Amino acid sequence: MARGTARAAGPADERLVALFLDMLAAERGAQNNTLTSYGRDLADLTAHLTKGRHSVSSASTQDLRGYLAALSRRGLGPATVARRLSAIRQLYRFLYAEGLRKDDPAAVLEGPKRSRPLPKTLTLAEVDRLLGAAAACDAAAPVRERVRAARLSCLLETLYATGLRVSELVALPMSAARRDARVIIVCGKGNKERMVPLNNAAKDTMANYLALLEQSGQCASSKWLFPSFGESGHLTRQHFARDLKSLAVGAGLRAEQVSPHVLRHAFASHLLHNGADLRVVQTLLGHADISTTQIYTHVLEERLKSLVRDLHPLAET
């Protein structure tokens, strides 16, 4: 009897999780990356519950605590456990609200104690080395090689100029490269649009890249700025990340030191260091909550210290 219950729990769990993911997509505008992440985390939960002869619909608070403890025993870090707990809480809150459970066993769960790590970033000199390495291209190389080099340079300049999420960057439309464009309209998380300014360096690299793209005849009719022949129609974030790491090695940096998200952090950190307002950076990054942007407050603290040290009349006494 117990075996039959455990076997039957699988499809039932999948149905409940699928309903939850449908709600995230329909009501909260969750993007594919978010839905994939939630689905993966909750699939791990259901596998654990099924192994213990439980299911999503029957699990108790103690069962869920046992799962969180199992995650820690598996060596998962506090940040990962906290993310899984967030998914579990949202799932059971949804099930309770929809009348699919009569209680919410996750409501009283406590997350792991953790300190928020400082974001990884790059210095101005390191960013300059990356940009310089990306701009270096053999003019005698075949046109396809020059297109690839120009594409990487355009991606890098645009990312550092705007602080876009990598998913937003690779999915930019061709209209973002208009010569008279001073800003681009970005569709971010939850399908929320925001305006992000472009600097001259980014516009110049876009113009150079588009000229080479037209010369090569590649994807002339594509609606994407960074077209690809893959299913999405545009360059994937994984492909860009690989190219960026190869470029980093060529620029004398460690591959693990550089990623698209690190450059997003560099954009925010360098703006704040040079006096930008935290609320402005929040808007540019597309953060819904100022608390997300506050991971960069260490930059503000360092800047205040340097201002006092350099400008206070008694600083050298």
Annotated catalytic residues are 165, 189, 261, 264, 287, 296
Largest CA distance in the chain: 82
Helix (H) or strand (E) holding 167: helix 166-170
State both tokens at 91.
């799932």
- What radius of gyration, in Å, describes the C-alpha atoms of the chain? 24
d(CA 81, CA 313): 49
Which amino acid would we find at residue 29? G
d(CA 286, CA 164): 8
Judge whether 247 and 255 are in contact, CB under 8 Å: no
Residue 186: strand pairing partners: 194
- With both helix axes pointing from N to C terminus, report the angle between 32-51 and 78-97 in degrees, rounded to the nearest 10: 90
DSSP state, residue 100: S
* Phi, psi (rounded to 5 degrees) for 148: -60, -45
- HSE at residue 43, side-chain half, CA atoms within 13 A, is 8
